[in-house]
Amino acid sequence: RNEYNIAVIPGDGIGVEVTAAALKVMEKVAAKHEVKLNFTELLAGGCAIDKAGEPLPKETLAQCQKSDAVLLGAVGGPKWDNLSGDKRPEQALLGLRGGLGLYANLRPARIYDELKAASPLKDTIIEKGIDLLIVRELTGGIYFGEKGRTTVDGYAAAYDHEVYNEKEISRITRTAFEAARKRRRKVTLVDKANILESSRLWREVVNKIAKDYPDVAIDYLYVDNAAMQLVKNPAQFDVIVTSNMFGDILSDEASMITGSIGMLASASLGEGSLGMYEPIHGSAPDIAGQDLANPLAQILSAAMLFEYSLGMAEAARDIEKAVKSVLGQGYRTGDIWTEGFEKVGTKKMGELVLAEI
């Protein structure tokens, strides 16, 4: 094919800024590979609440369903923080992930040689390398379980249920093992099986499926230990497979050891080729609208879009090389800036990457 339909959801805050930068890069890469991309901009999140009265308008979900891929910036912000749970901007994300059946969230964290100075870890730890992939379950668990308010002994109470079934665990586990086969052939299940019954089911199912992958090593870590090990010795990790909430938390930590949350991309995939691509960071209200955000996580998410939804691995490599080259030239946004480098804003960083395509 030489023409694709891409749904674009800039969202709120820096989502708008980083998405603008990524779209230009996508256009140039597409032209280089003689492919036409038709972008359709859609509303979701806080801006959708303001303009359409709800975080995820039906039309947005319908358009995404018809597209080849979705590029999303970020949603949310203080303006909408006091709305009730089901009316908040973040609900749009869950609606998109669930509605599009995107159960597998791939979050690769690797350290670029050029960015070693930006990592808070010691050289002796970084020297061993950081190249891990968090495979986060995305449409189940506590995010999607029953939740509500009640009273207990006359006190206000609230609950969120963590529920996982065998089907949900099996498919994400297979995603993790398949990914490991293309990498260093090691899967680590991160859970809390010493406490949670749902984690004990994860272990049973993962053990069963591991038998189909005798060429891949499997080990297990409790999530508290995993959080510690990520800082102590990140080189030990290849693929981490974990639940929705643990994956959310560990991926922010994983991003920082590679330099910044502004560097970490993600792909959310389901059964078909339709995927949604977004940086792991949020709308960053503290720096929004000031041309301060690092657009590289979103630009690298666009690379994942080319690779996973359009089958254009070379275009993805072009983008990754361009990013590496700009870092090699010494340009840094504030989040990854250290002494001796040149500080640039969101727009300039986008233009620098564009020039390298």
Residue stretches of the annotated binding site for substrate:
97, 107, 136, 224
- Residues 209 and 221: their CA atoms lie apart, in Å, by 17
Nearer to ligand NAD, 287 or 316 (CB): 287
**Does the annotation count 252 as an active-site position?**
yes
The answer to the question of residue 90 lying near ligand IPM (CB under 6 A) is yes
Selected from 248, 278, 318, 356, the binder of Mn ion by CB under 5 A is 248
By the rule CB under 6 A, 9 interacts with ligand IPM: no
User: Judged by CB under 6 A, does residue 114 bind ligand IPM?
Assistant: no
- Name the residue nearer to Mn ion (CB basis): 238 or 248: 248
> How far apart, in Å, are the Cα atoms of 351 and each of 31, 185, 316, 346, 356?
16, 37, 17, 9, 9
Integer-rounded Cα radius of gyration of the chain? 20
Token pair recorded at residue 26: 């996508």
- Nearest distance from residue 349's CB to ligand IPM, in Å? 22
**285: contact with ligand NAD by CB under 6 A:** yes
CA 63/CA 228 separation, integer angstroms: 42
Interface with ligand IPM includes 280 (CB under 6 A)?
Answer: yes
Contact call for residue 234 and ligand NAD (CB under 6 A) = no
Q: How many residues bind ligand IPM (CB under 6 A)?
A: 6
247 binds ligand NAD (CB under 6 A): no
CB nearer Mn ion, residue 180 or residue 297: 297
Range 26-85, binding ligand IPM (CB under 6 A): 76
Q: Min. distance of Cβ 84 from ligand IPM in angstroms?
A: 15
Q: Does 281 engage in binding with ligand NAD (CB under 6 A)?
A: yes
Give the active site residue among 143, 164, 308, 331: 143
Residues placed in the known binding site for Mg(2+): 224, 248, 252
Question: What residues pair up with 3 in beta bridges, in sequence order?
Answer: 36
Stretch that binds ligand NAD, among 57-65, 171-179, 239-247, 285-293 (CB under 6 A): 285-293
Token digits for 188?
A: 């680590």
> What's the rounded Cα separation, in Å, for the pair 258 and 106?
16
Nearest partner of 242 among 184, 297, 208, 192, judged by Cα: 192
Among 224, 232, 321, 343, the one annotated catalytic: 224
Q: How many residues does the chain have?
A: 357
Does the annotation mark 248 as catalytic?
A: yes
Q: Are 190 and 248 in contact (CB under 8 A)?
A: no
Other Cβ atoms less than 10 A from the Cβ of 126: the count is: 20
- Sign of the CA dihedral 101, 26, 14, 301? positive
Separation CA 313–CA 300 (nearest Å)? 13
The interface partner of residue 284, options being ligand IPM, ligand NAD, Mn ion, none and the CB cut-off 5 to 8 Å by kind, is ligand NAD
From the CB of residue 165, how many other CB atoms can be counted at a distance below 10 Å? 11
Question: Which residues are catalytic, by number?
Answer: 143, 192, 224, 248, 252
* Site of interaction with ligand IPM (CB under 6 A): 76, 90, 93, 248, 280, 282
